[in-house]
Structure 1
Amino acid sequence: MVGNLRHKRLVNLIGCCAEGDERLLVAEYMPNDTLSKHLFHWEKQPLPWEMRLRVAYHIAQALEHCNAQGLKIYHDLNAYRVLFDEEGDPRLSSFGLMKNSRDGKSYSTNLAYTPPEFLRTGRVIPESVVYSYGTVLLDLLSGKHIPPSH
């Protein structure tokens, strides 16, 4: 289902490969690094406010598209999942994919951006996306990375 999802604000999947227990997803090439690099590891100047607002808007558009398609796939959205294409436009990648355990719960890969209810129950609910989007907005406003202890 995720493979069929296409949008100008997403890093679209091109193909996949499965051999034995190995799986590989192939996505569009994004040559201009991650939001994390531009926001937290800048060398010359901080990310301009105009671009921060553009990132927030483009992420919201991507999440709205996923929601309109009935996919609640972002539960641990973060600055590492936002990539910049050849034109410098921000796009969402990775689709918040999680590993499912044998007990039926799913586990996040980034605790700093993971909603509290997800940590308690191991389940993604619609509000999980809103919480994760809020953590990225906090990153954009503060220009600082949220420590895992918060």
Structure 2
Amino acid sequence: MSTRLLDGVRFAIGLEDAGLKFYRRVLEEVRNEHVQVLFKFLVEAETSHKEALQAVEKGLIEEDPALIQKAAKQFNQLHLEVPIFKEKDVRFVKEHKHSVMKMFNKSMDLEKEGMAFYQGLSIKEQDPLLKAFWTKLAKEELIHKQEIERLGFSVLGVVSFDIA
């Protein structure tokens, strides 16, 4: 068993878990359905990432290459629909921009951290299926970041949400 790979997978599970905790907390605190559209999508996506990583972790612990390959293959075939934001979503965010911007900033940081980590693992990975697994995780984190940016840009006309 590759201890380095197992450590990487466990770190990745921690990243996804941190995102899940934050996105779930946002869903508890923000009752407005328009902001929840994005965060429900992020919870669903991060949950699928965490489950896939846990399946790979199990394969590594049990030293079962077939289990690892199966988990990576199933994840590589997974597809989640990205939400389309409506004008009413944009209006709500404009009206509550300062509190929403703080959530967007934290979300962007979480997605950027995950994306960078998964890109690094993808570059180092020799196994083609696991390389595709890490690459897909990185691409999905990029999509999440872009969705946060897209909603923020449509509201504020900028991609950075710093409140200065």
Coarse TM-score class (shorter-chain normalised): 0.3 to 0.5
Q: Point out the structure with max Rg over C-alpha.
A: 2
More strand by share: 1
Q: TM-score scaled to structure 2, two decimals?
A: 0.30
